[in-house]
Structure 1
């Protein structure tokens, strides 16, 4: 039987329609599975299943609105039964540390919070750790560096060599002081020192309030020194040695079901580093340096985020 040309064309059209709808069905199924996964395990999108939330605080600390919003959602989520703060940070701005500290304390008022220190929790990183109810650190973690500083360059000597002279007219002697374009005056040094000491007193007060230490004991430790996890345990800056297993065990002692899954609430992406390097450029440079293809990771690993810091800083420089 000879098949007519019209029948052949119709069969081809039918196959194309079937192929199209098969693809559409697969896509719909994939989207459904993705949404179901996000609903059950979806971090910052919220979950219906009870779990222990985990938030990583690493790199240079700034007043990160996305992180603050994430912490706020964790605090309000009825599915989150406890929070693990995974900290690996040299510190950052005091304002950034203060904002995260306050956000963590709001969560701790409703549910148990434990901090688990990785490689480093120094300066503002340690400040955030003290907001938790229990601090766990590795034996060789670096902990401490309680203090505040302001750093700025003095390029006046270079300007003299280049023959560049700065002219300025200002309303008062301390306006825009200290300036990198001229030696710092005694009055400017006194002003900055007064700010630093006030913030230092506030930082010491936080540690005194949150740790089993007297003010005299905190002041003795708050000379900028850093300690290993073992030393920090002895000095009562941390409560226990270990990692996430010990953190979960402590949560269990607070009535949290230790069989609950630990689910990390991850950021949606972006951040200060992306302003310096676009994703594609950061990825190419990262690949050349053997760093994973993430611009934020690249900027964090080479320390360029610290160039963005302004104001009072609580940061440990190795």
Structure 2
């Protein structure tokens, strides 16, 4: 019995040691991942683009207000990069976020020669972003345009009637929190929203007209909400030239006196520590690697919940949404 007891004690001691070293390894791995992320960020030691190079900046996905991105672009202004190539692949996003990004790129353009390359898509807010540049290059099959604004809200009136639920409210005036999705939209509320949409649309049109040097007739042709291919967009003055990054760099050399043959280096925006996406991913992978699968699954589920939350874009939208196929 004594021997068996010693064996059990030894096994428990070994388990405790194994658990300790697993946890320690996880913490070290997470710390290392965070360090790499910080160094890769614009504020990190390797982030500022080296002297005598061209910075490559990627704008992808939905565009929302992002102060960290603005601050990163301000750091790029002060860097020693010779020029900036902005690659855009975005369906747009909120009008406020698109305007914020446009303004930040305009300020950057005042400090550095800047050119835009449209990858797959520069629509709505993505196109607002693109016209911050004086020269836009796109591929022949890129999609460009979708000049317009929308405001969407789901209406659950019929569903509420079906389930027998009624939302009661007391508000200071008829247009307070209208529309709310729980009752039919009143003509007054619809008119108020229509005024907002038209005002933002007029701002968007004016921006395109000014930045792209269009007359009223051409503006009417391109500002009906459609997207155009790169081939069409050249003739419509939505973009300046067909090509890719090499084409954009050739323009910088020819028109902005940027030295030929400079290397192009990625300028990475800071990881979004505010929503812990970077830390969550690093922690999940590390825990999974060390056999702590249950904890890893919980972290991944939290990430899914947050991704669903990010699908809800608040406010006025400058967003291209192709119709879903049946």
Q: TM-score range by the shorter chain?
A: 0.7 to 0.9
User: Which residue in the other structure is 1:7 paired with?
Assistant: none
* TM-score between the two structures when normalised by the length of structure 1: 0.77
* TM-score between the two structures when normalised by the length of structure 2: 0.75
User: Which residue in the other structure is 2:157 paired with?
Assistant: 156
SS state of the match for residue 308, structure 1? coil
The answer to whether the 8 Å contact 1:44/1:266 transfers is no
User: Which residue in the other structure is 2:263 paired with?
Assistant: 261
Q: Distance in 1 between matches of 2:162 and 2:69?
A: 45
Matched, 1:133 2:127: no
Query: 1:173: Cα distance to partner?
Result: 0.2
SS state of the match for residue 60, structure 1? coil
User: Which residue in the other structure is 2:243 paired with?
Assistant: 242
The answer to whether the 8 Å contact 1:136/1:247 transfers is yes
**1:57-87 superposed Cα distances (whole Å, 9 cap, x missing partner):** 000000112211111111122x111111100
Q: Distance in 1 between matches of 2:215 and 2:151?
A: 27
User: Which residue in the other structure is 2:167 paired with?
Assistant: 166
Matched, 1:75 2:89: no
User: Which residue in the other structure is 1:91 paired with?
Assistant: 92
Q: Which has the higher contact order (CA 8 A, sep 6+)?
A: 2
**1:127-159 superposed Cα distances (whole Å, 9 cap, x missing partner):** 110000100000000000000000110101101
Matched, 1:312 2:316: yes
The answer to whether the 8 Å contact 1:123/1:147 transfers is yes
Q: Greater CA deviation, 128-137 or 49-58?
A: 49-58
Q: Distance in 2 between matches of 1:43 and 1:199?
A: 40
User: Which residue in the other structure is 2:33 paired with?
Assistant: none
Mapping 1:268-283, distance limit 5 Å: 268-270=270-272, 278-279=280-281
Mapping 1:22-61, distance limit 5 Å: 45-61=47-63
Q: Distance in 2 between matches of 1:43 and 1:120?
A: 32
Q: Distance in 1 between matches of 2:110 and 2:319?
A: 28
Tell me which stretches of 4 or more aligned residues in structure 1 moved more than 6 Å. Answer: 280-284
Q: Distance in 1 between matches of 2:265 and 2:180?
A: 47
- Which residues of structure 1 form unaligned runs of 5+? 1-33, 285-294
SS state of the match for residue 147, structure 1? coil
User: Which residue in the other structure is 1:3 paired with?
Assistant: none
Query: 1:219: Cα distance to partner?
Result: 2.7
Q: Distance in 1 between matches of 2:274 and 2:61?
A: 11
**1:275-307 superposed Cα distances (whole Å, 9 cap, x missing partner):** 7x94279879xxxxxxxxxx99xx99xx85762
The answer to whether the 8 Å contact 2:122/2:143 transfers is yes
**1:179-230 superposed Cα distances (whole Å, 9 cap, x missing partner):** 1111100000000010000000000111111103113321321110100000
The answer to whether the 8 Å contact 1:137/1:241 transfers is yes
Alignment: residue pair count: 266
RMSD: 2.9
Q: Closer, same or farther in 2 for the Cα pair 1:93/1:44, shift >3 Å?
A: farther
SS state of the match for residue 176, structure 1? coil
Q: Closer, same or farther in 2 for the Cα pair 1:225/1:281, shift >3 Å?
A: farther
Q: Closer, same or farther in 2 for the Cα pair 1:47/1:139, shift >3 Å?
A: closer
Q: Distance in 2 between matches of 1:68 and 1:76?
A: 13
